[in-house]
Chains A and B, each alone.
Chain A
């Protein structure tokens, strides 16, 4: 099925480093969502974005809705061990309410 282009696929970082990941699409979306999934669990919503250009923070997480409405990024500052997991982006089209998902970014923190 259709997917967003999410990158990078995986990241190996040191604790304390900042992390950046993004999603792009050829389609326009009205909503961008960022989720985190821990092993064996369902994804949990981190940040929801509803307007082009919107910049929203949730603690150490910051996400932006691209001005073209075709992309979004997620930044994590000063990473800590509990940040490990898989991060997914999802965009919603206005036409059919369906969410289109990225393939995920696996975050691994080196001890």
Chain B
């Protein structure tokens, strides 16, 4: 099975712009979770989508949004970028059931100038 893929791998934007990141989960997985990781920090949970519905949400401002398509692929959008949004954005997929592990993609590294 192919693993979780994320595109693009690297991105440079300027303040005020918006960005869309994409995640393709492992085939058969219906849950996609998004995380933000800043240098030296742990994983900060953004949101989780399961069967095209947002099931869980972290404590991020409304500038961070996401969606999931019928094929389970997910996109994350950040509007009005700020310097502090520079981070590694990770997505993880799972079947979405209890007692289930998440499998991570390689991440998208976003730099906001």
Taking Cβ atoms with an 8 Å cutoff, the residues of A that contact B are: 1, 3, 30-31, 33, 35, 40-45, 48, 50, 88, 90, 92, 94, 96-99, 101-104
Contact = CB atoms under 8 A, between A and B. Distances in A.
B90 A42 contact: yes
Contacts of B101: 31, 33, 45, 48
Given A1-B59, A98-B48, A50 B42 contact: no
A99 B103 CA distance: 12
Interface residues of B, number: 30
B58 interface: yes
A94 B26 CA distance: 23
Contacts of B41: 103
Interface of B: 4, 31, 33, 41-45, 48, 50, 55-56, 58-59, 88, 90, 92, 96-107, 109
Contacts of B44: 1
Given A30-B98, A97-B55, A102 B42 contact: yes
